[in-house]
Amino acid sequence: MRSLPTIRAMGAAAVLGWTTLAAADGTGNTRAIGDGVYSFTLGEGNHSMFVIADEGVAVFETFSSRHAQAMLDTIRELTDKPVRYAFHSHNHWDHASGGQVFRDAGATTVMHALAAEWLAANPGRDSAPADLVWSGRRKTIDIGNITVELLYMGMNHGRGMTVFTVPERGAAYFADLVNPNRVMFSVVPDFNIGEWERTLTELLDLEFDVAVCSHNELPADEALDGCARAHVVQERQFIIDLRAAILAELEKGTPFMAVPAAVRLPQYASWAGYDQWLEMNTLRLMTDLWMGPFPWYPDDGADKSRTDGGDR
């Protein structure tokens, strides 16, 4: 990755430009991808976003204490404004950990009630309870001259999966739902694949110019630029193409348990995980087609009558 030895050397033009920055301790990389919008990674496959507003900073996805501390150090090199909020996308430990770092720094940590309920029952070693827990389908939080929109789009992956947009900056953050240049993860754990596909269609209705995707298998330097609407389309198309390939094999009379080895999607052969995970992806989707979708919850615990979720 292209980087500068310190953030302090950038100057104001670089802060508002498209420069890759090295974290002060050399453990992370940050790139300005919009007006006050930054992507951040430790190079371990996890990507966060933070936005600098006139009244403070909003952070999206803390991942772990190590990741969170390196991101906080980077933010401190860029601005002395307080970190006002740290947003968690959903319940899984590999995403919902590290929040205590930002709580200790004075930030309010935020997650959906469905995620908070799960974490209360299944606390991770590095997770911490959220300070602000919201419910319903939509909530907005103002931070001076920006508004953060929190969108719970129903059942898809995990519990309480929230998509974030910052309309004034044309930015969005997607966790686990959009994974550029990668097939579905392993055995596709805790995904309702049909509802995931529906969610991807609805993401295309959102207004955003650039997004950060939590897992991004584009070349490292490209991944720092974030992800785009085209990657949402590609994610959905992979699911569609895999389902069609499975049904085609069954139509040919391929024995059920022979289908995973028979399915090949050469148009995705360059994607990360293709050789290791395609058969697992196939068997998982076949299981849904044979047994029915899982996980499934009635209304997934969300109150559809509300347009702006409450908090506690």
Element (H, E) at 272: none
* pLDDT tens per residue across span 124-135: 999 999 999 999
CB 68 within 8 A of CB 140: no
* pLDDT tens per residue across span 228-276: 999 999 999 999 999 999 999 999 999 999 999 999 999 999 999 999 9
Nearest to 286 by CA among 251, 252, 242: 242
Q: Could you tell me the pTM of the whole model?
A: 0.90
Instruction: Please give the pLDDT value at position 117.
Output: 97
* pLDDT tens per residue across span 153-209: 999 999 999 999 999 999 999 999 999 999 999 999 999 999 999 999 999 999 999
Is the confidence at residue 16, as pLDDT, over 70?
no
Going along the chain from its start, the domains and CATH numbers come out as: 7-301 (3.60.15.30)
Instruction: Please give the pLDDT value at position 13.
Output: 29
Cα–Cα dist 268/280, whole Å: 15
Q: Over the chain, what is the mean pLDDT? A: 90
Q: What is the DSSP secondary-structure string of 167-226? A: GGGTEEEE-SS--TTB---TT-TTB-HHHHHHHHHHHTTS--SEEEESS--S-HHHHTT-
Instruction: Please give the pLDDT value at position 160.
Output: 97
Average pLDDT (290-312) is 70
* 89-122: b (≥16 Cβ within 10 Å) or e: bbbbeebbbbbbbbbebebebbbbbbbbbbbeee
Instruction: Please give the pLDDT value at position 177.
Output: 98
* pLDDT tens per residue across span 84-138: 999 999 999 999 999 999 999 999 999 999 999 999 999 999 999 999 999 999 9
Instruction: Please give the pLDDT value at position 56.
Output: 98
Phi-psi region of 144 (alpha: psi -120 to 50; beta: other; left: phi over 0): left
Cα–Cα dist 126/119, whole Å: 11
Element (H, E) at 82: none
* pLDDT tens per residue across span 17-75: 333 444 444 468 999 999 999 999 999 899 999 999 999 999 999 999 999 999 999 99
